[in-house]
């Protein structure tokens, strides 16, 4: 089978950052009408490769050819002008502008030199209709969910006369239905002859959509493969450079949960989550499953006192408690690793050590500093236990990879020895190695008697870890299912889709 | 430590420039049991600015800014002088003035932390109204007092050293103790670095923010006493005028970012000294007084440019790129790999 | 009364609420003044606010551009003073004609703004600091030109200063008001109907995103400071019409008035949100406060400051309460 001439060819790309060789001799070619997956663990150099391609950073070595002509883009604008559009991992739009503007800003349709607002809105609505989205295009982008914002970013990218479309983890904030919608769009773009570069941590998605993949490891090229010729196990092995041990059974012996730790009765918050009733026992992992925006995070925030409940009450060990603020919840030994590490979790300018002892210090107040020896001991212990890399307590947290940042956040709460640990998407956007480590840790902690509320978009993960699964839909807790042999992925998905009519008992 | 390098170099250069114009610039003499000399003068006249800048550093570290410190300087001096002119004891006057300063600071903190007004606007209110308040206290006049014991604060000596310098040393020591020995500094940097994440880590940021603004106002209050004591009078209109701008400048020159987070008290002291030395230099090299501001603008611009990383890279950067990566850098790659 | 207003507000997009709140407060203040003082509730009182604050309005328009990108410009007051100083000295000493002096002054103001914008962008120094240096520089240049007030006796200037443009029913305005109105209209058009204007909003919303969306962030930032410099210089020209003198101590602290006007008008200092109409209302509110105080008559000057502070507080608090209720 003849391979058509590539639209884009990168050869021998090298990129040096102060102290780090981010890319070394990397090749990548994108063929017309193909979805090409760029694979690698966090820190493998995927993001850097995309950034040098789109002109965010200059390259130190190698060549980039577009349609056979050597090119070098000085800015994202130049790359866009040449037909290379990018949708970045984190939504890079202006939330203060309207949906229509976000699609067209910088190249608004004009008439007599002035922006033609009616035409802009009409074209935006048209374009979004292609993605099967029906939005009020004159509303500010900030009124829509991250998932919708992501779709708007894609709409912006495909409206530019794109020859190459780069999607850097576009699916990490999308739910299953939206992912399907995106894939549909990707397939139709593919048929138009556009080359798509796709980055994702979700292997199933990669196998569903991609035709070809390039694998990177530690800034170096591992190789280019046809997706259908490479098995998942081989792929993972090439990405992490070792055979992945079969996923072992995570929990020990079956346990009986008879000591209730926390009971929420009729707890709810107007506009965020309908009143729900949920019991968490000591040593129990309670999974929360549901689509994005179904109210998973809202439950977590109520139980941690991050938001105020407008109805219902909470008892711990049989006594009524009022979880007004995070501090009150912490006094009841509840801990919460939030979904958004960057905005709600870490302090990027502080060191690894400071980030880890932050919550402990907060509970002691500023007048009683944690003695330095104790800090070093605690931090050292968790760096070793969680394999945080680099193992340097004085390293700035902003420079760590996503997986290591997540571990720092976990360590911050683990030193408080909580009785209930709430984890909101602890494995999102981190590489497979770190992911399994965190899963294993959750199992260990619960075997040691800690209760865990585990929220994840990946049903498989929820199913494997939880003793009990709460299912959410449309801001309601619709079912609470014991995780026995009868509970499978299919049952869980059925429950999410049907709103609890067929599975489990509705609350 | 590297953060302090540039401010220190700039200060050293400024001091050396003075030597060319004033031969005995570095000499410190003992006269009547008092220390005299240009360096002592810089410290003595710079004392109020250092004080205000110390408070400002903490405010800026929380991601805020305090425009009202100049007005607080005026209010504190006015109230103290008014009390003394009405035959109150110096101690009472000082306590009342500082008490009012702290209250005003807490008001700023309340507006920022509880009401949620942007700091620059919240403190603009007191900056405008406070000036009026100071004039209200003095009745629009300059209150002149004659109190030897009040004079000590800004003009006196203790153990051969000007009292103002000692006062600054004490406040600096207390600030360093609170922020670096106790955990206040880390919590401030955390709140300034990411307020929402800090709340979710259980930090009571409201209390910390109110405290920091109150502290900044307290520092300004002490500076106000120092200034009014030095001239034995209170001028509601002009005392501490534009000191907030100098203080913000000192903080930034000292390497603390206006966006909040990491702060450096040592840098701030250096920054304030740079500004004071600049003023001294302007006089000693004989720049005509009407071009003082012009000169200051040029030096401030130069200082900020030198401190800007991208300026250094653009101007001096070409040579550096050719240097091969250091062994330490290569080691780091291996660690992250 | 309150509920009616609130019910009305509920159907209005959230972004217009701050401007509306300011408008309502302005009306309330005007009505209260009209009830309390005789002769207050007349059209000429409002027009006088425009006449007395035309220069501030022009300066605040420039400030709005800067603040919308998330920046700040502390140099405006000094640039205003510098413009009066240059105009006065050039006309008095070498006797330059106004049609040479005015373009030159506008050019100098724009150039100063452009240089500050370039430094802010290229060397990543905070706008607060760069424009603070600019403030020292412009003020320093004033004193270098001269420390005393220089009178302006040029016939064109004096004629301009004394012209009254009669409207209907005994109402009149000065030419400066017309210039200010033109500036406001042009600026509103630029902000709403040109790519530059939308880039200003986008840059203020998220500079990082604007950059990745391929917007000319660098050009936008430099342009807004240039616009602010131009507006300050024009404000300086209008102030010379008003004062008929050039003086290094003109417009001391005007940057704070301009910032206050923009903020009272509902523009967020963090950037990306606000309207020019709000700025106009902000200037009107500040002017009306002064009018109220002059109608009160017996107040000492310090009460003016205290009242402006208090009213600033009330405005911001109400803004805050209303917007908090909406979100």
Residue C223 pLDDT more than 80?
A: yes
d(C-alpha C245, C-alpha B147), whole Å: 44
Percentage of chain C lying above the pLDDT 90 cut: 46
A37 C-beta neighbours (distance < 10 Å), count: 24
Q: Does B201 touch chain A if contact means CB atoms closer than 8 Å? A: yes
Q: How close A318 comes to chain C (CA, Å)?
A: 36
d(C-alpha A13, C-alpha A60), whole Å: 7
Mark yes or no for CB contact B186/A358 under 8 Å.
yes
| Per-residue pLDDT band at C323 (split at 50, 70, 90) | low
Q: Does A493 touch chain B if contact means CB atoms closer than 8 Å? A: no
Mean pLDDT of C62-80: 95
Residue A144 pLDDT more than 50?
A: yes
Mark yes or no for CB contact B183/A18 under 8 Å.
no
Residue A123 pLDDT more than 70?
A: yes
User: Which residues lie across from A263 on neighbouring strands?
Assistant: A279, A315
CATH architecture of C42-318: Orthogonal Bundle (1.10)
Residue B328 pLDDT more than 50?
A: no
Mark yes or no for CB contact C129/B295 under 8 Å.
no
Mark yes or no for CB contact C123/B132 under 8 Å.
no
Answer whether A432's CB lies under 8 Å from A239's CB.
Answer: yes
Answer whether A348's CB lies under 8 Å from B194's CB.
Answer: yes
Residue C210 pLDDT more than 50?
A: yes
- Asked if the interface predicted TM-score (ipTM) of this complex is over 0.90, the answer is no
| Per-residue pLDDT band at B1 (split at 50, 70, 90) | low
pLDDT at residue A331 in the model: 93
Q: How close A155 comes to chain B (CA, Å)?
A: 31
Computed over every residue of chain C, the mean pLDDT equals 87
Q: Which of C140, C142, C308 has the most B C-beta neighbours within 10 Å, making it the best mutation to test the interface with B? A: C140
- Residues of chain A contacting C192 with CB distance shorter than 8 Å: 115
Instruction: Give pLDDT tens digits for C240-257.
Output: 998 899 998 888 889 989
- Residues of chain A contacting B261 with CB distance shorter than 8 Å: 347, 349-350
Computed over every residue of chain B, the mean pLDDT equals 86
Helical segments of chain C, H only: 2-10, 17-36, 43-68, 76-92, 98-122, 127-145, 155-162, 175-193, 195-205, 207-212, 217-243, 254-264, 276-296, 301-326
Select from C194, C201, C205 the Cβ nearest to the Cβ of A114. Answer: C194
Q: How close B273 comes to chain C (CA, Å)?
A: 18
Instruction: Give pLDDT tens digits for B45-69.
Output: 999 999 999 999 999 999 999 999 9
B128 token code pair: 């405008």
Q: How many CB pairs under 8 A join A and B?
A: 99
d(C-alpha B201, C-alpha A305), whole Å: 11
| Per-residue pLDDT band at B322 (split at 50, 70, 90) | very low
Mark yes or no for CB contact C309/B130 under 8 Å.
yes
Q: How close C191 comes to chain A (CA, Å)?
A: 10
Mean pLDDT of C301-322: 79
Q: Does A412 touch chain B if contact means CB atoms closer than 8 Å? A: yes
- Nearest-Cα residue of chain A relative to residue B187: A366
Q: How close A160 comes to chain C (CA, Å)?
A: 11
Residue C74 pLDDT more than 80?
A: yes
- Residues of chain C contacting B295 with CB distance shorter than 8 Å: 140
Residue A339, CA distances (Å) to A23, A303, A417, A442 in order: 30, 14, 20, 16
Task: Match 């290569």 to its residue by tokens.
Answer: B330
- Residues of chain A contacting B208 with CB distance shorter than 8 Å: 366
Domains and CATH numbers, chain A: 1-83+161-244 (3.40.50.300), 93-159 (no CATH), 261-498 (3.40.50.300)
Q: Does B172 touch chain A if contact means CB atoms closer than 8 Å? A: no
Question: DSSP secondary structure string, C259-301?
Answer: HHHHHHTT--TTSS---HHHHHHHHHHHHHHHHHHHHH-S--H
pLDDT at residue C2 in the model: 34
- Nearest-Cα residue of chain B relative to residue C74: B245
Instruction: Give pLDDT tens digits for C18-55.
Output: 788 888 888 988 898 889 888 888 888 889 999 999 99
Instruction: Give pLDDT tens digits for A326-382.
Output: 999 999 999 999 887 877 889 988 999 999 999 999 999 888 999 999 999 999 999
pLDDT at residue B336 in the model: 34
Mean pLDDT of A162-188: 81
Mark yes or no for CB contact A92/C214 under 8 Å.
no
Q: Of A365-374, B197-206, C92-101, C129-138, which range is least confident?
A: C92-101
A299 token code pair: 């439950």
Phi, psi of A424 (to 5 degrees): -100, 110
| Per-residue pLDDT band at C8 (split at 50, 70, 90) | very low
Going by C-beta distance under 8 Å and a sequence separation of 6 or more, which residues neighbour residue C238? C54, C55, C58, C176, C179, C180
- Residues of chain B contacting C290 with CB distance shorter than 8 Å: none
Peptide bond into A251 cis (omega under 30): no
Select from B181, B200, B336 the Cβ nearest to the Cβ of A43. Answer: B336
pLDDT at residue B24 in the model: 79
Q: Which of A97, A116, A118 has the most C C-beta neighbours within 10 Å, making it the best mutation to test the interface with C? A: A97
Residue C4 pLDDT more than 50?
A: no
pLDDT at residue A507 in the model: 37
Give which of A401, A354, A388 is closest to A20, Cα–Cα: A401
Select from C140, C308, C310 the Cβ nearest to the Cβ of B293. Answer: C140
Residue C6 pLDDT more than 60?
A: no
Mark yes or no for CB contact A347/B181 under 8 Å.
no
- Nearest-Cα residue of chain B relative to residue A218: B337
C98 token code pair: 């106004």
- Residues of chain A contacting C204 with CB distance shorter than 8 Å: 96
| Per-residue pLDDT band at C284 (split at 50, 70, 90) | very high
Mark yes or no for CB contact B187/A362 under 8 Å.
yes
pLDDT at residue A231 in the model: 83
Residue B53: which H helix or E strand, with range? helix B38-61
| Per-residue pLDDT band at B321 (split at 50, 70, 90) | very low
- Nearest-Cα residue of chain C relative to residue A101: C198
Mark yes or no for CB contact C206/A94 under 8 Å.
yes
Domain residues of chain C, as ranges? 42-318
Mark yes or no for CB contact B204/A327 under 8 Å.
yes
pLDDT at residue A3 in the model: 74
Residues 69-88 of C with CB under 8 A from B: 72, 74
- Ramachandran quadrant class, C220 (left: phi over 0; alpha: psi -120 to 50; beta: rest): alpha
List residues of C whose CB lies inside 8 A of any A CB. 13-15, 189, 192-195, 198-199, 201-202, 204-206, 208-216, 272-273
Mark yes or no for CB contact C119/B248 under 8 Å.
no
Mean pLDDT of B143-169: 88
Residue A506 pLDDT more than 70?
A: no
Residue B176 pLDDT more than 50?
A: yes
Mark yes or no for CB contact C212/A75 under 8 Å.
no
| Per-residue pLDDT band at A434 (split at 50, 70, 90) | confident
Between A432 and C94, the higher pLDDT residue = C94
Q: Does C290 touch chain B if contact means CB atoms closer than 8 Å? A: no
Parallel, antiparallel or unpaired: strands A273-281 and A212-217: unpaired
pLDDT at residue A252 in the model: 57
d(C-alpha A417, C-alpha A335), whole Å: 9
Claim: this prediction has a pTM higher than 0.90: no
Select from A19, A344, A359 the Cβ nearest to the Cβ of B332. Answer: A19
Mark yes or no for CB contact C205/A96 under 8 Å.
yes
- Ramachandran quadrant class, B323 (left: phi over 0; alpha: psi -120 to 50; beta: rest): beta
Give which of C322, C21, C61, C259 is closest to B121, Cα–Cα: C259
Instruction: Give pLDDT tens digits for C151-186.
Output: 988 888 888 888 888 888 788 899 999 999 999 999
Between A274 and A249, the higher pLDDT residue = A274
Between B307 and C213, the higher pLDDT residue = C213
pLDDT at residue A242 in the model: 53
Residue A245 pLDDT more than 70?
A: no
- Residues of chain C contacting A108 with CB distance shorter than 8 Å: 195, 198
Q: How close B239 comes to chain A (CA, Å)?
A: 35
Instruction: Tell me which range, B139-148, C11-20, C227-236, is most confidently predicted by mean pLDDT.
Output: C227-236
d(C-alpha B90, C-alpha B229), whole Å: 11
- Nearest-Cα residue of chain A relative to residue C196: A106
Mark yes or no for CB contact B308/C123 under 8 Å.
yes
Q: How close B331 comes to chain C (CA, Å)?
A: 30
- Nearest-Cα residue of chain C relative to residue A157: C213
Task: Match 């009018």 to its residue by tokens.
Answer: C291
Residue A246 pLDDT more than 50?
A: no
Mark yes or no for CB contact B128/C256 under 8 Å.
yes
- Nearest-Cα residue of chain A relative to residue C270: A96
Instruction: Give pLDDT tens digits for B92-131.
Output: 999 999 999 999 999 999 999 998 888 988 999 999 899 9
Mark yes or no for CB contact C141/B258 under 8 Å.
no
* Residue A415: burial class (beta carbons within 10 Å; 0-12, 13-18, 19+): buried
Select from C198, C212, C216 the Cβ nearest to the Cβ of A101. Answer: C198
Residue A248 pLDDT more than 60?
A: no
- Residues of chain A contacting C194 with CB distance shorter than 8 Å: 113-115
B49 token code pair: 């600015």
Computed over every residue of chain A, the mean pLDDT equals 85
């Amino acid at each position: 089978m003849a391979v058509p001439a590539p639209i884009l060819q990168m050869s021998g790309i090298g990129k040096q950052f102060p102290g780090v060789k981010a890319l070394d001799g990397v090749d990548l070619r994108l063929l017309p009408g193909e979805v090409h997956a760029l694979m690698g663990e966090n820190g493998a150099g995927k993001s850097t490769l995309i950034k040098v391609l789109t002109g965010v950073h200059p390259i130190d070595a190698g060549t980039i050819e577009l349609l056979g002509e050597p090119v070098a883009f000085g800015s994202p604008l130049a790359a866009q002008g040449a037909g290379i559009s990018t949708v970045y991992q984190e939504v890079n739009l202006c939330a203060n502008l309207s949906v229509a503007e976000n699609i067209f800003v910088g190249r608004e349709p004009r008439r007599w030199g002035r922006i033609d607002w009616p035409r802009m809105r009409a074209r935006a609505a048209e374009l979004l209709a292609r993605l099967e989205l029906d939005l009020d295009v004159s509303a500010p982008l900030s009124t829509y969910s991250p998932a919708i914002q992501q779709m708007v970013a894609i709409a912006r990218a495909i409206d530019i006369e794109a020859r190459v479309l780069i999607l850097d983890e576009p699916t990490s904030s999308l739910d299953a239905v939206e992912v399907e919608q995106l894939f549909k769009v990707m397939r139709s773009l593919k048929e138009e002859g556009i080359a798509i570069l796709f980055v994702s941590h979700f292997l199933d998605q990669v196998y569903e959509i991609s035709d070809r993949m390039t694998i990177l490891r530690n800034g170096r090229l591992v190789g280019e493969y046809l997706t259908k010729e490479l098995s998942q196990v081989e792929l993972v092995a090439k990405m992490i450079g070792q055979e992945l041990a079969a996923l072992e059974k995570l929990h020990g012996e079956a346990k009986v949960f008879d000591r209730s730790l926390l009971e929420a009765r009729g707890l709810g918050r107007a506009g965020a989550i309908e009143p729900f009733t949920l019991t968490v026992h000591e040593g129990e992992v309670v999974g929360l499953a549901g689509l994005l925006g179904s109210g998973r995070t809202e439950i977590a925030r109520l139980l941690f006192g991050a938001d105020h409940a407008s109805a219902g009450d909470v008892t711990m060990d049989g006594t009524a408690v009022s979880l007004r603020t995070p501090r009150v919840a912490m006094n009841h030994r509840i801990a919460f690793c939030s979904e958004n590490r960057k905005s709600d979790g870490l302090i990027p300018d502080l060191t690894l050590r400071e980030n880890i002892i932050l919550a402990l210090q907060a509970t002691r107040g500023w007048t009683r500093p944690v003695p330095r020896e104790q800090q070093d001991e605690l931090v050292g212990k968790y760096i070793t236990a969680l394999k945080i890399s680099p193992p340097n307590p004085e390293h700035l947290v902003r420079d760590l990879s996503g997986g290591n940042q997540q571990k720092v956040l976990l360590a911050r709460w683990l030193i408080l020895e909580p009785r209930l640990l709430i984890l909101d998407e602890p494995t999102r956007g981190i590489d497979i190695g770190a992911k399994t480590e965190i899963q294993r840790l959750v199992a260990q902690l619960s075997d040691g008697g800690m209760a865990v509320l585990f929220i994840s978009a990946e049903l498989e993960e929820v199913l494997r870890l939880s003793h009990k699964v709460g299912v959410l839909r449309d801001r309601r807790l619709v079912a609470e299912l014991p995780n026995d042999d009868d509970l499978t992925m299919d049952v869980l998905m059925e429950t999410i889709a049907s709103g609890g009519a067929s599975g489990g008992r509705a609350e | 430590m590297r953060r302090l390098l540039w401010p220190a170099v700039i200060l050293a250069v400024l001091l050396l420039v003075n030597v060319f114009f004033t031969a005995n610039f570095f000499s410190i003499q003992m006269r009547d049991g008092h220390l005299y000399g240009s360096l002592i003068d810089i410290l003595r006249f710079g004392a109020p600015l250092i004080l205000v800048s110390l408070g400002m550093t903490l405010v800026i570290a929380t991601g805020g800014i305090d425009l009202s410190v100049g007005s607080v300087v005026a209010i504190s001096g006015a109230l103290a002088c008014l009390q003394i002119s009405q035959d109150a004891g110096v101690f009472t006057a000082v306590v009342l003035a500082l008490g009012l300063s702290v209250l005003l600071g807490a008001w700023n903190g309340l507006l920022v932390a509880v009401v949620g007004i942007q700091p620059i606007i919240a403190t603009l209110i007191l900056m405008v109204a406070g000036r009026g308040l100071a004039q209200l206290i003095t009745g629009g006049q300059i209150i002149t007092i004659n109190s030897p014991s009040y004079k000590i604060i800004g003009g006196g000596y203790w153990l051969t050293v000007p009292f103002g310098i000692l006062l600054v040393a004490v406040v600096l020591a207390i600030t360093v103790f609170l922020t670096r020995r106790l955990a206040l500094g880390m919590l401030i940097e955390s709140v300034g670095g990411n307020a929402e994440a800090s709340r979710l880590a259980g930090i009571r940021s409201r209390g910390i923010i109110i405290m920091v603004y109150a502290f900044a106002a307290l520092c300004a209050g002490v500076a106000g006493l120092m200034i009014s004591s030095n001239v034995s009078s209170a001028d509601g209109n002009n005392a501490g005028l534009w000191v907030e701008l100098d203080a913000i400048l000192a903080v930034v020159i000292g390497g603390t970012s206006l966006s909040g987070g990491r702060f450096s008290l040592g840098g701030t002291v250096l920054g304030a000294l740079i500004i004071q030395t600049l003023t001294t230099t302007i006089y000693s090299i004989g720049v005509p007084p009407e071009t003082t501001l012009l000169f200051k603008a040029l030096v401030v611009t130069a200082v900020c440019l030198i401190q800007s990383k991208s300026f250094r890279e653009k101007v001096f950067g070409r040579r550096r790129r050719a240097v091969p990566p250091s062994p330490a850098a290569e080691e780091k790659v291996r660690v992250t790999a | 009364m309150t509920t009616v207003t609130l019910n009305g507000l509920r159907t209005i997009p959230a972004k217009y609420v701050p401007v509306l709140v300011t408008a309502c407060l302005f009306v309330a203040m005007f009505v209260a003044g009209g009830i309390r003082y005789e002769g207050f509730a007349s059209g000429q009182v409002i027009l006088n606010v425009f006449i007395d604050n035309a220069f501030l309005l022009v300066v605040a328009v420039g400030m709005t551009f800067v603040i919308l990108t998330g920046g700040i410009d502390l140099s405006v007051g000094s640039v205003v003073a510098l413009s009066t100083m240059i105009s006065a000295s050039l006309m008095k000493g070498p006797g330059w004609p106004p049609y040479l002096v005015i373009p030159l002054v506008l050019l100098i103001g724009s150039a100063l703004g452009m240089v500050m914008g370039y430094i802010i962008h290229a060397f990543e120094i905070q706008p607060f600091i760069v424009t603070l240096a600019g403030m020292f520089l412009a003020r320093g240049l004033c004193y270098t030109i001269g420390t005393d007030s220089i009178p302006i006796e040029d016939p064109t200037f004096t004629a301009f200063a004394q012209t009254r443009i009669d409207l209907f029913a005994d109402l009149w305005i000065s030419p400066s008001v017309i210039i200010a109105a033109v500036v406001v209209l042009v600026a509103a058009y630029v902000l709403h109907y040109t790519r530059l204007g939308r880039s200003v909003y986008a840059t203020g919303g998220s500079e990082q995103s604007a950059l990745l969306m391929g917007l000319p962030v660098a050009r936008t930032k430099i342009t807004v400071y240039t616009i602010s410099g131009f507006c300050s210089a024009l404000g300086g020209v209008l102030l010379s019409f008003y004062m008929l003198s050039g003086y290094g101590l003109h417009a001391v602290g005007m940057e704070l008035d301009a910032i206050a006007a923009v903020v009272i008008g509902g523009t967020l200092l963090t950037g990306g949100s606000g309207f020019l109409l709000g700025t106009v209302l902000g200037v009107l509110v500040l002017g009306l406060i002064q009018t109220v105080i002059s109608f009160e008559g017996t107040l000492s000057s310090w009460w003016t400051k205290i009242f402006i502070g208090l009213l600033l507080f009330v405005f911001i608090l109400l803004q805050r309460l209303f917007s908090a209720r909406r979100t």
